[in-house]
Amino acid sequence: MRVGAVIAAAGTPGGFRAYDKLENTDRNAMLKRMIYTFRRAGVEDVAVVTGYRAKETEKSLAKLGAVFLRCGDYENVQMLDLAVKGFRYLKNCGKIFFCPADVPLFTENTLKMMLLQDVPVVIPVCGGRKGHPVLIDADLTDGIAEYQGERGLKGAIDASGAEICLLPVGDEGVLLRARSEDNFERLAATEKQADIHPKIKVQLMRNEAFFGPGMMVLLKQIDVLGNVREACEKAGMSYSKGWSLIRTAEQELGRPVVERSPGGKSGGIAKVSPAGHILMERYERLEREVAEFAEKKFEEIFYADMGRDSL
């Protein structure tokens, strides 16, 4: 089953502006940490809903393979609106995590524990307090989108009548928000530091390398935007670079990866071809299985005899 994640980083909803009050914390570094944690737990699709300082955020995270969903009216929306925007994009996922951007210190193990629970909604609980992220079955998202009450995402989940698992975890990171009163900066730099782990770059090649993380990011953005020029901007590359990647891939494969109808200043309409979608799916599987193998070998080589305190 495919798993997705929505990170609310649009403004006051989702707490993204909370980082303005912290002197020694890079908000985008925290978002990177969240994305990497989701990835290591097996999340294939990460959607970041942006608004406040959106261009800066999208540029900083462009190479990480997340999709950006811009919320232009972020000043006037609620957390539920951001969640629904992400849920609609992740329609092909069976389960979806949702987390505000100001709760970035949860662990990979917590996510894996949540995924093991066979119930529609899973909420982590630490010290008797409910935290984030929340894990929701995709079957519930249409009903959540239709909710008209005043209690936000919590009210929408309660109104669904779905069974909820309050999962006890020993992970204080599910509660810690980006605010000084929580000693957030000290904990993020000491007790809650991210673990060291291997990062593997997988590329496909025939006569030359033609498909890798950059191409994957570009195709995901084309899928969302339907426009190569805008996709290149969101992927952090020039328009000419994007077309160069597409042409190289099509030349090496001998078939179209992107179907387009040219025209206009925006570059016309584009969509990922059926062959392109198959390539994306198989590349993701290869990348995931290579990463899992690398993680096992990393544990054997670095920690088997000495334990995690050795680094």
Residue 138 or residue 309, greater confidence: 138
Q: Is the pLDDT of residue 133 over 70?
A: yes
Q: What percentage of the chain reaches a pLDDT higher than 90?
A: 68
Which of 94-103, 123-132, 225-234, 257-266 is the least confident region?
257-266
Predicted local distance difference test score (pLDDT) of residue 306:
62
Distances in whole angstroms, Cα of residue 162 to Cα of each of 121, 143, 158: 7, 11, 7
SS3 125: strand
The stretches of the chain forming alpha helices (DSSP H) are 27-40, 54-61, 79-89, 108-115, 141-146, 152-160, 184-189, 213-225, 228-234, 239-253, 274-298
Q: What is the mean pLDDT of residues 153-180?
A: 94
Return the number of other C-beta atoms located less than 10 Å from residue 152's C-beta.
Answer: 15
CA distance 163 to 141: 14
User: Out of 3.30.365.10, 1.10.357.10, 1.10.10.10, 1.20.140.10, which CATH number does the structure's domain 196-311 have?
Assistant: 1.10.10.10
- Looking at the predicted structure, is the pLDDT value of residue 267 above 70? no
186: left (phi over 0), alpha (psi -120 to 50) or beta: alpha
Angle at 66 between CA 242 and CA 109, to 5 degrees: 145
More confident residue, 182 or 105: 105
What is residue 13's predicted lDDT score, i.e. its pLDDT? 85
Tell whether domain 3-189 is in CATH 3.30.2310.20: no
Model pLDDT, residue 193: 81
Question: What confidence category does residue 130 fall into, taking pLDDT thresholds of 50, 70 and 90?
Answer: very high
Whether 311 has a pLDDT exceeding 80, the answer reads no
At 71 the pLDDT is: 92
* Average pLDDT over every residue of 36-49: 93
pLDDT of 310 higher than 60: no
The answer to whether 139 touches 45, Cβ cutoff 8 Å, is no
More confident residue, 8 or 150: 8
Looking only at the bridges linking them, the beta strands covering 134-137 and 95-100 are antiparallel
Distance CA 84, CA 68 (A): 14
| pLDDT band, very low/low/confident/very high, at 302 (cuts 50, 70, 90) | confident
The pTM of this model reads 0.87
Task: Write down the domain spans for the chain.
Answer: 3-189, 196-311
pLDDT band of 123, cuts 50, 70, 90: very high
Q: What is the pLDDT of residue 159?
A: 93
| Structure confidence at residue 192 as a pLDDT band (50, 70, 90) | confident
* Distance between CA atoms of residues 63 and 234, nearest Å: 9
At 138-160, the pLDDT tens digits run 999 999 999 998 899 999 999 99
Adjacent-strand bridge partners of 4: 45, 96
pLDDT given for residue 265 in this prediction: 56
Amino acid identity for residue 145 in this structure:
A
pLDDT reported for residue 115: 98
Buried b (16+ CB within 10 A) or exposed e, 238-268: eeeebbebbebbbebbeeebbebeeeeeebe
The mean pLDDT of the chain is 91
The answer to whether 48 and 31 are in contact (CB under 8 A) is yes
Look up residue 60 and give its amino acid.
S
Q: Is the pLDDT of residue 307 over 80?
A: no
> Which residues, 6+ apart, have CB-to-CB distance to 206 below 8 Å?
252
DSSP structure class, residue 193: P
pLDDT, average across residues 258-279:
83
